[in-house]
Structure formats: structure tokens, C-alpha cells
Amino acid sequence: MLRDFSFNKFKFLFCVLVVFVLISSTGWAATYYVSNSGNDSNTGTSSSAPWKTVSKVNSRSFSPGDKILFERGSSWNEQLKPSSSGSAAGGYITYGAYGSGNKPLLDGGSRIGFMINDEVGRSYLIFENLDMRSATTGGINNSHTSTYWYIQDCSFHDIGSLSSAIGEGILNRGSYITVRRCLFYNNGRHGIAIWNDSTSAQTDIVCEFNDLYNSNHSIVDIQASNGTSGNMNNITIRYNKIHEEAAWAANALYANGTTSSTVTNLKIYGNIIYNITGRGVALDQYCNLVSIYNNTFYNVSDQICSMENGTGTVYLYNNIGMNAGVVIVRVDTSTNKHVDYNCWYQGSGFPSSFARVNGSVYSNWASYKTATGFDSHSKWGVNPGFTSISARNFSLSSGSACIDAGMDLGASYAGAVSGDSRWPDSVILLNQNTFGNWDIGAFVYGSGDRMLHPG
């Protein structure tokens, strides 16, 4: 009996110790404040005694779980350089905002290269509710060793030069990076650039719920540089609004690998892409295992979907493509291409040719299907029935032929956009499986059961 009592006492003391450690570790996280009205001699640990400059923030080391908050309505003409990493166990280090009013502004004044610059490879960081503008090169830049970042609810605009096609909203070389609910516009070259220029693989990047428009090159650009090694794996571009591209031959989304760095397992779904002066989605060389599904494309000056990736595997399902200036679908090599359950429509004033496959151009639907084996369950020549093109509302109206006409791709991909969505911060996803058969396009017709944002 005494031995049982001693053992139970030991267990009790051990549990108390564990709880104490957990509480203590949470208590170690600190919050720091930065304001134009602050002073770098302050402790920085309360909003009544904030620091003043970004330089002060750069000079300090931080611990996992710490938060560095910039006052809303304040602005800084300084570059932010993350000085520390968070950790999986201790938590992310967050750079964010406090107070009320406009987002804290990091203004490059057309003289600072990147507003946030991590050249050493920090990890477990969150950047949220920040406004970045007027940098000469980019809003955020990181290293190929930067991992586990969330960039969310930020704005990137007027970066670089539109006329010179210079400037990135985000230049990402890291892995395990999520960019979500951000606004990108008037960035000289790209909104989001995902590049691999190292000897390491790049993996697990998600761009979701963003509003991106008006760049002078591809708005979302996925590329490996010559001489790199290691594939670009598991990149997901979903539920974004990509529109109003500024220059001819500029794509909404472009992907290109190399012989030693293939873009593989690229997923593009649930996006609304419209008023593009180049191509909608352009797959260049060395792209494999690409899934393009449940997107809505409207008014693309060149080709809505271009597959110039040789024998790389592509799945093109459940997409709406309306009004292409050249052809809707271009496939240079039909091997390993799977195309079906789409809705293709060329309105008045657009070419009757809708597809170019293996060098042959098709304007006859039956001939195209017979020759290629593509689109056996798809719709051609049927207006998709958008709610209001003039209002840029590409949800499906009640009589749309795209309702219940798609292919069921499985529960993992059942999320579709509600017509009540607003980008970038109010995107609502509905479960396709609760509305009968799947719809074609990014939107599901109906309302009701909601899904949480994936990821």
C-alpha cells in the first residue's frame, strides 16, 4: 500500500511539473510594439512604451512565440530583416499590427530594394496585416533555406516599375510557404514569383485567396533557373482572383522547369482568371503531374490554357473557358494529357477556332473530339451563363449549363467558391458534394453548408 501511495505521489508531482513547464514556456513569449511616436530607448513591451524604428527591431533577437507589432497608421522607410527563427515546438515569430486604422506601411520610397529581406534563411515566421509599397525590387524576399512562413492579410503594390517590368510583390525561394488573403497590384514584373535558383529542392508552397492584378509580366510566375538541381514540388495555386494583366504576352500564371529541376505536382484550381493580355495558364518545359481543374477563365487575349510541356502529364478537368483571342486550348504533345468535363465557348467577335492539338487547329467540335479523344463529356458552344460579366461576377446563374455537369474529383478537392465571396479576405468555400453533382468552373451554384479554408 505504501509503495502504491509513493508511486501515485510521484505521478502527481510529475504531472504538476509538466503543467508548470507548459505554462512557463507560454509565459516566455513576449509582445513588442513599434510606433512612429515611440522611442528606441523604451522597453518596447507595451503599447504605451513602444520602440520607434525598424532598425531597433532588426537589432534584437527574438524567441519562438514572440510577436513584433507595428502600429496601424504609422509608416517606416526602412527595410525589415528578420533576426531570429521560431520553432515547431515553441511557435512562430509574428510580425504584425496593433491598433486601429490603416495597415502599418513599409514604404521603400523608390530607394529600398526589398521591404522585408531574409537572406540567411529564417524559419517559422508569420508576416500579417502589413502594407508594402514603392520598393525598387520587391515586397518580400527570402532564401532557399527559409522555411515555414505564413504571409497573410498583407498588401503589395506599386513596387518597381511597370514600364520596365521590374519588381516583385513576393520573391519566394523558400519551402513550406503559405501566401493567403493578400492583395497584389501595380507590381512591375510579378505579383508572386516562386523561383528555384539553388542546388536544393523546393517544396510545399500554397498561394490561396489572394487578389492579384496589373503586373507587366506573369502575375504568378513559377520558374527554375538554369543550373539548379532539385525539383520544385507540391505547389498549389487555389481560390485566387487573377485579372487585368498590363502588357501583351503577359500570362496570368506561368510555369517552367529545367532538365535538373522539374516543376512537379503543380495544382491550379478554384481560380477566377479574367481580362488577361497573354495566356491564362502557360505550362512551358519540364512541368509534370499538373492538375488544372474547376477554374473560370474569361477574356484571355491569347490562349486560355497552353500546354507546351512535352510528354509531361496534365489533367484539365471542370474548367470554364470563354473568349480566347487565339485558341482556348493549345496542346503541343497530346501524350499524357487528360482533358474532359470542361465548358468552352467563343462569343461574338472571337475566333471560331477553339483548340490547337499536335499542330492541328480545330473549329469543328466533332472532328476535334474524334481526332484527339479529348473533351468527350465537355460542352462546346454553350454560353456558361455567368451572373454578371459587367460586374465581374463569374458565379453561375440559375440556368447555367455548367451546373451539375462536372466530374467528381473526390472529397479532397470538393471545395468550390461561393458566389458571395469577396477577395481577398472574404472567400467562402462550399462543399460540392452537398449540391448534387459537381459544377464546372470555380463557383458552385447554391448556398448553405460552408467549409473551412483548407490548409
Note whether 378 and 355 are within 8 A (CB). Answer: no
Closest of 394, 448, 427 to residue 238, by C-alpha: 427
Closest of 453, 400, 404, 397 to residue 432, by C-alpha: 404
pLDDT score for 8: 52
Amino acid 324 reads: A
Closest of 313, 369, 375, 372 to residue 344, by C-alpha: 375
Note whether 146 and 118 are within 8 A (CB). Answer: yes
Question: How many Cα atoms within 13 Å fall on the side-chain side of residue 45?
Answer: 7
pTM, two decimal places: 0.93
pLDDT score for 1: 42
Note whether 112 and 77 are within 8 A (CB). Answer: yes
Q: Rounded to the nearest 5 degrees, what angle is found at the Cα of 441, between the Cα atoms of 440 and 445?
A: 75
Cell of residue 63, nine digits: 524567441
Edge-to-edge order in the sheet of strand 202-208: 31-34, 67-71, 93-98, 123-128, 147-152, 175-180, 202-208, 232-238, 263-269, 287-293, 314-317, 337-340
pLDDT score for 197: 87
pLDDT score for 228: 83
Note whether 450 and 415 are within 8 A (CB). Answer: no
Note whether 376 and 338 are within 8 A (CB). Answer: no
pLDDT score for 343: 98
pLDDT score for 5: 41
Q: Give, for all 455 residues of the chain, the pLDDT tens digit.
A: 444 444 455 454 445 444 444 444 445 899 999 999 999 999 999 999 999 999 999 999 999 999 999 999 999 999 999 999 999 999 999 999 999 999 999 999 999 999 999 999 999 999 999 999 999 999 999 999 999 999 999 999 999 999 999 999 999 999 999 999 999 999 999 999 999 988 889 999 999 999 999 999 999 999 998 778 889 999 999 999 999 987 767 899 999 999 999 999 999 999 999 999 999 999 999 999 999 999 999 999 999 999 999 999 999 999 999 999 999 999 999 999 999 999 999 999 999 999 999 999 999 999 999 999 999 999 999 999 999 999 999 999 999 999 999 999 999 999 999 999 999 999 999 999 999 899 999 999 987 655 544 55
pLDDT score for 229: 84
